[in-house]
Structure 1
Amino acid sequence: MKQVSYLLLFPLILSGNIFGAEAVSKQQLFERVFGTAVQLDPAQHAAVAQDEHGKRHYVDQDNDGIPEEVWFIDLDSRHLEDMRPVLVRVLDEDGDLRMGEEPDLDSDLYVADWKADGTVDAVTDYTDTDGDQDVDEMGIYFIGWTKDKITCWWGEDTGDDNLLWHDVGYTYRQRDCQSRSHFGGVETFCAYILGLDDPEWHPGWENPFVFYDLDNDGVTEEVVRIEGQGDVIQNLRYSFDADNDATPGAPRDFDVSLSAHAPEGTLLPAELGDKRTLRGIPAGAFMAFKEVQQYSMTFPWATYQLTWDENDLNIDGEGFEGLAFKDPQERWEGIITQKNEFFKQIGGPSCGLVNKRNEVDLESDTPIRVYYADTDQRVHLFGANHAWLLVDYNFDREPDMRYDYHDSDGDGYLDRWTLDLNVDGKPDEEWYGEIKANRDIPYTYAALNEIMQPLLETLPSELFQLSSRLRQALNASGMPDKNPIEALLETGFDLPQLPVDLRLRLLNSNESWRYYLDLLKDSLTASLRAQHGASDFWNVFDPLRASGDITGMREAVEEEFGLKDALPDFALVRKVITARYDRPRVAWAQNWVPPNIGWESEQAAYRCYWGLFDFFGKKKDVLIYPLFKAGEDYHKEQEWGIDALNVDDTCGLGGITLYVNGKAYPVYSPEGKGSIVWSKGVLKEAKDTVSIEVTAEKVGPEAAPYTVRFHCSALGNRKDSPIQVTVEGGAPDDTLEVGIGMRKLSQESFAMDEAAGILANWGIQDPTIGWIGLGVVYPKSLALRTEDLPDHHQVVLKAERGKPLTYHIQGTWLKGRRFDRCPTLSNWMGDLKETASVAGL
């Protein structure tokens, strides 16, 4: 975000001042864009506001039995209290709304009236531009920067992964929405404003913001923001996940940015522009997605600042509560450098002043140029006039150390490093680099990743072993006291201002280990130099340091001090330190309401009663069964989530039918009725896995009944549950089959992938719960046929007496998905295909 966006817009959004204030022309501005769609009929409005909240009111203007719109008071928990009640008018713009069904998130228009006071406050517009029934563009409209203009945040799902922005009250508020807005994969967005008499939308600030997924893993490795007003280009921020350690579960992990200011009067070349139309009104151009990378890299920007996130915590470095970070989530915007005496800040919130390496070129007027230096195994900005790193290793908001980098001969390459160990302004350690140790590289993801990913896989171990030898040398030289960095690492960052999540992020990051071990290596080297003045040793050690030969430096210390004992195993030490934060990642419980038994990971919870299978949707990774109380109703949304499936009298998610010689015998007993005898209990429980057993006796023919055993498991960090079924007893000549069922939803899309062994649906039963997905992953080699039954879908598998058969069940709850706008059945099938791959079925 541009600084004015954050400093001016977002605090007002957060406080509600902009949205609470009534602009004289607010209704006119909305009507300028949406016409009669935002004219709320008073009689209809009153009927909805005075009726039961949550009840759907359908409007069928032409009496053809197909509604054009639906009105309701939206009870979704995402909406803020200062907005409630939120009255919504939804206009179906693609003709697929039906009586009794829910509007969708592809081509529908949501008009929101906060407080149900008769005035429109926000509009969210979902657009399917290619007719494939998923969202391609999304616009969030509100009265924002100025009261006399309407603002649109417009986004395009350029990569077609169906994921865009979260909203509250059908608008965007940074604090409440940024974590759950996708801002990733391959996307484009731009900000616009429009006055009542303006002929076109005026682009500004995010002009555009673009995200690139270069390895097709669904996660952004490269993000670029060009800021401007109209056709004027003002600045650039260009960031990479250089070591490619972001994952679908933790999709934001940017390491470096190059920020740049454009020369005065820089204009967007017309041939590079992309002009869109928003609700029939033309918009001014922003730089086209396909042009951004080339232009950014080849344009001669006036000034540059390279910022490298050395400790691998790219979080808000400005907001604190005491010593604790107020907002510890990884930033989505890239690396936002904090203003300093040399460079004006671009956007906010910044990454802060400490533990980030900054290099500034004040008089560039050339395209981006960077290089890799073997001396410190880092990428640097060519031509940097000022370069420094302020260290706060213990997060007490007080600088502990400072590095300065110098280009002594003015050739554009750094050649001298100084280290101030106590920030008194006097260097305590100095060393030099070699000219041959510098290598120019392009500022591209491919070039950075080619260096950083393999480097960070080996360098922490090399640094750890060097630091261990330096510690031994200091002990031998009469300095046995531990360096504070040593002590901090041994405690696993046990600091009261760091929550466990942040400690684990540091401990699990190769980049943060490299940073801290570099700090330790340089500190110990300075201490050894002060204590051990043998010039012959330093004449060997220092040239090795200049060339970045970590192994050579270690061997020089070993030779000097006669160190021949075995080197410590960094991986083992790291594992032991990290293990102090181990916790149970699975749980089970039973009989909170008899005859329930449940099993869960932090990501997903399942339960079974009388052979009917159910799941709980979660809003966050948490174990819920230890919190359950006897008799409590979880069909109402809780802080952690909700009972997400109404099983009723069906098999639910993964209940089975036993076929004996072709005759069906359901292995579930709605309301406990029938002849089947049920028992249950826990089989085994460990930190990362738990298994329970449910046994059904007297299943099938009375003359030769069967016993069916279910072994149901939860696995740490997994969303699926393996179900192992064993059929025992019966007549020896019987032909056996097992039908795995998945209940139908009242409004659903269904898919079956025989090649992958997947049965899936996506839909809704109850607006209170919202959209859910159900999935069964089965061994495709055993599949015989499918059955389309009145209340459930079923796949029938070959079964053998006494031979375990394993399938997996998985459920998802849209409100619990981090990125809830706007996945579809195709996204859900992608999740299940990943499960099938992991399960190896």
Structure 2
Amino acid sequence: MNIDLKRTGLILLVACMGVLSKASAQLLNEFRPRYMDKPAHVDLDGDGDPDLIKIRLFNGANAIWVDDDDDMTYSDTEGDLDSDCLLIDRNGDGVFAGPGDLSVDWIDNDGDGEADMQLVVENSDLKSVDGWDWSSNYMWIIDDEKDGAFHFINWKELVLRCWTHGGASNFFEDYHGQTLFLKTHAPSYRIKDPGINWENPFIFYDADHDGLTEMSVRLEDKGRFDSAGDVSLNGVVNRAFLSIDLDNDNAPSNEFDYDFSLYFEGKGFSYKDQVHKINNDHADIDARISHLLYDKRWRALNTLVYTSRDVALDRIFNKGEWSRCWMVFDEDDDCERWERVEFYEPKNLFRIGKNNNGIDHNPQADAAGDRGEWDEDNSGKGKLYIGFDGKIHLYGAEKGCWRIDQNAACYQGWGGLYEGGYERLPDEPKQFPTIAYEDTDGDGFFDLIKHDLDGDATFERVTNLRPFNIRYEIIDTRKFTYKEYHNLFEKVADEMWSNALQSIKVAKALKINYKWYASLTSPKSKWEKYSNGYWLQFYIFNDLLTHFEKSNQTDKINTLMKAYYERNWTPLLESIINN
């Protein structure tokens, strides 16, 4: 008996590949739809080539591929993802693009044969919703960097998954690099004008062209709902969010590492002049399939209205009419969220937990480790200053709070909300150090500093800075781009470290053993210069304070306080050397 081993081996290999494919489908990511039957081609216009492919998905759901650029052939089993639309009757009611359904549209807007835009219309089957329908997604991605990455749909579930990620923050949804999206949490048929959105837009900036995001801008049009639950967007941005990776330390395996965010709220600015054309050249085929669609309006759009990336910062800082401004700083450097460092709110300083009326009330906020500051009348217009502690502060803020998580023990990571449940992943600390800030004289700068370092919710040290007459430089952010924010942090980090080295000289002069803090004395990055430099000064200051108190050198205590809070150790060093 002769056996063709090569042929038999090939058959076995193919058979095994088929078995593995089916077995692994339940465990591995599914990046594409799977089909049950052979495709059925339909020539709608009688020109000899197909315009539709009708097919059933793995779960029996009926689907239609619509060819919008008339390049489909009878050998095709699906659309070619340049100018095509996939309609899925997800709930099996015989209607497409209706309640419970999923639709995906690819658009080649510049005619180069590659899709530049992708729209996902994911409608819930809820009968009525009071306000936003969080299980519905009407969401565009506009691929400015032309990398071909768009939405991530889990094709096992036929559900848009915006928070699925590998590692710490490598999100499958395209938040990376030079991209933007528009989104409204409502079924498409509940949106009065599908050319205007709620998040309108969410912009990501790749300042150094490394394919990663260094800055994000979120512009929100709050809209209004009528009695039927339909939403109308106003063409006005009412809330604006800006987040910055100040030290540009994002990298593969650390894709998102924002450090600082600003938030504006108020009457905002109009963006009705910001009209963007869509290359919509499929009116003929739309007319032939309109009877299949519950909502066909998004197929007919030829414009989108949203603020352009090149004017977004100018609109925020120079055109917006805002009533409040907040700042948050990720002091423990553990935020790997895709959108921003989430904001602390001006609530109870010592309560902790999501929706618990503490500063971390927002479930997306880090339970501990961030510093929030609040300018409740926007008197400072989003300007900044380098404060008494060498840190970046919000000019005009009446109050602020740093809830310290020195070792990032309450490690936030990407946050943990939404995917798998509306819960925080990190354990919340029962006790935490707190530094609170107040502007008592209304000049826009903090002058009262309160420390609760033992976590008993009582401030054991209160320092009035007004006697020091500290002068600050106001930093005008109205013309800032990412480069200016990055340069500002570099300056802050270098100055922080320089001052830390000066504090070491003072410790040496007094024979205070600073080498207990040796682990802080060899920074390996700008961030470590910033963070280690602060903590070195903090510990040395407290050692010096204890030394002067024990030796009854009360005259030196005032000089020490001035050195520490005015960020100038030289007068203290000179007084020690000269004595």
TM-score using structure 2 length: 0.66
Query: How far apart are residue 350 of structure 1 and its match?
Result: 2.3
The 5 Å alignment of 1:432-831 reads: 432=465, 435-442=470-477, 444=480, 445-456=482-493, 459=496, 463=500, 466=503, 510-511=526-527, 514-515=530-531, 518-519=534-535, 521-533=537-549, 534-549=553-568, 552=570
Tell me if 1:176 matches 2:209.
no
Query: How far apart are residue 559 of structure 1 and its match?
Result: 5.4
Query: How far apart are residue 389 of structure 1 and its match?
Result: 0.6
The 5 Å alignment of 1:209-224 reads: 209-224=202-217
SS at 2:199 equivalent:
strand
Distance 1:118 1:560 in 2: 91
Is the alpha carbon distance of 1:198 and 1:189 closer, same or farther for their aligned partners in structure 2, counting shifts above 3 Å? Answer: closer
Look up the match of 1:629.
Answer: none
Look up the match of 2:285.
Answer: none
Query: How far apart are residue 341 of structure 1 and its match?
Result: 2.0
Instruction: Report the number of matched residues.
Output: 461
Look up the match of 1:236.
Answer: 240
Query: How far apart are residue 122 of structure 1 and its match?
Result: 0.7
Distance 1:71 1:469 in 2: 79
SS at 1:302 equivalent:
strand
Tell me if 1:190 matches 2:182.
yes
SS at 2:451 equivalent:
strand
Distance 2:147 2:361 in 1: 27
8 A contact 1:312–1:509 mirrored in 2: no
Look up the match of 1:333.
Answer: 339
What amino acid maps onto 2:113 in structure 1? Q
8 A contact 1:537–1:560 mirrored in 2: no
8 A contact 1:207–1:287 mirrored in 2: yes
Query: How far apart are residue 474 of structure 1 and its match?
Result: 8.7
1:426 to 414, 438, 459: 459
What amino acid maps onto 1:57 in structure 2? P
Query: How far apart are residue 180 of structure 1 and its match?
Result: 1.1
8 A contact 1:437–1:547 mirrored in 2: no
Look up the match of 1:303.
Answer: 324
SS at 1:174 equivalent:
coil
Give a deviation string over 1:329-348, Cα, whole Å, max 9, x none.
x1111222144428999996
Query: How far apart are residue 476 of structure 1 and its match?
Result: 5.9
Distance 1:87 1:472 in 2: 80
8 A contact 2:440–2:448 mirrored in 1: yes
Is the alpha carbon distance of 1:107 and 1:71 closer, same or farther for their aligned partners in structure 2, counting shifts above 3 Å? Answer: same
What amino acid maps onto 2:476 in structure 1? I
Look up the match of 1:380.
Answer: 393
Look up the match of 1:205.
Answer: 198
Distance 1:429 1:117 in 2: 67
SS at 1:383 equivalent:
coil
Distance 1:402 1:346 in 2: 13
SS at 1:90 equivalent:
strand
Is the alpha carbon distance of 1:376 and 1:338 closer, same or farther for their aligned partners in structure 2, counting shifts above 3 Å? Answer: closer
What amino acid maps onto 1:382 in structure 2? Y
Look up the match of 2:108.
Answer: 128
Tell me if 1:57 matches 2:39.
yes
8 A contact 2:325–2:381 mirrored in 1: no
The 5 Å alignment of 1:22-421 reads: 57=39, 59=41, 61=43, 67-70=50-53, 84=59, 88-98=63-73, 99=75, 103-114=79-90, 121-144=101-124, 147=127, 151-169=137-155, 171-176=159-164, 179-192=171-184, 193=186, 196=189, 200-201=193-194, 203-228=196-221, 229=223, 230-231=233-234, 232-247=236-251, 250-263=254-267, 268=270, 270-272=272-274, 278-281=298-301, 285-298=305-318, 299-314=320-335, 330-341=336-347, 349-364=363-378, 367-373=381-387, 375-394=388-407, 395=409, 397-421=429-453
SS at 1:436 equivalent:
coil
Identity %: 21
8 A contact 2:500–2:537 mirrored in 1: yes
Distance 1:146 1:465 in 2: 64
SS at 1:188 equivalent:
strand
SS at 2:247 equivalent:
coil
Query: How far apart are residue 305 of structure 1 and its match?
Result: 0.8
Query: How far apart are residue 134 of structure 1 and its match?
Result: 1.8
Is the alpha carbon distance of 1:197 and 1:437 closer, same or farther for their aligned partners in structure 2, counting shifts above 3 Å? Answer: closer
8 A contact 2:346–2:374 mirrored in 1: no
Look up the match of 1:757.
Answer: none
Distance 1:97 1:554 in 2: 79
SS at 1:295 equivalent:
helix
Query: How far apart are residue 468 of structure 1 and its match?
Result: 10
SS at 2:121 equivalent:
strand
Distance 1:268 1:358 in 2: 28
8 A contact 2:116–2:144 mirrored in 1: yes
What amino acid maps onto 2:247 in structure 1? D
Bigger drift between 402-411 and 196-205 goes to 196-205
What amino acid maps onto 1:108 in structure 2? D
Look up the match of 1:776.
Answer: none
Distance 1:117 1:173 in 2: 23
Give a deviation string over 1:455-474, Cα, whole Å, max 9, x none.
43674586489579859979
Give a deviation string over 1:731-759, Cα, whole Å, max 9, x none.
xxxxxxxxxxxxxxxxxxxxxxxxxxxxx
Look up the match of 1:614.
Answer: none
Is the alpha carbon distance of 1:457 and 1:520 closer, same or farther for their aligned partners in structure 2, counting shifts above 3 Å? Answer: closer
8 A contact 2:386–2:492 mirrored in 1: no
Distance 2:502 2:544 in 1: 16
- Root mean square deviation of aligned Cα: 4.3
Unaligned stretches of 5+ residues in structure 1? 1-51, 76-83, 315-329, 491-506, 562-841
Q: Which has the larger radius of gyration?
A: 1
SS at 2:254 equivalent:
coil
Query: How far apart are residue 140 of structure 1 and its match?
Result: 0.6
| Structure (1/2) with the larger strand percentage | 1
SS at 1:545 equivalent:
helix
Distance 1:97 1:333 in 2: 38
Give a deviation string over 1:469-508, Cα, whole Å, max 9, x none.
859979669xx9x7xxx69x69xxxxxxxxxxxxxxxx97
Distance 1:64 1:472 in 2: 91
Is the alpha carbon distance of 1:153 and 1:401 closer, same or farther for their aligned partners in structure 2, counting shifts above 3 Å? Answer: same
Give a deviation string over 1:48-81, Cα, whole Å, max 9, x none.
xxxx956652525379885544455667xxxxxx
Query: How far apart are residue 197 of structure 1 and its match?
Result: 8.6
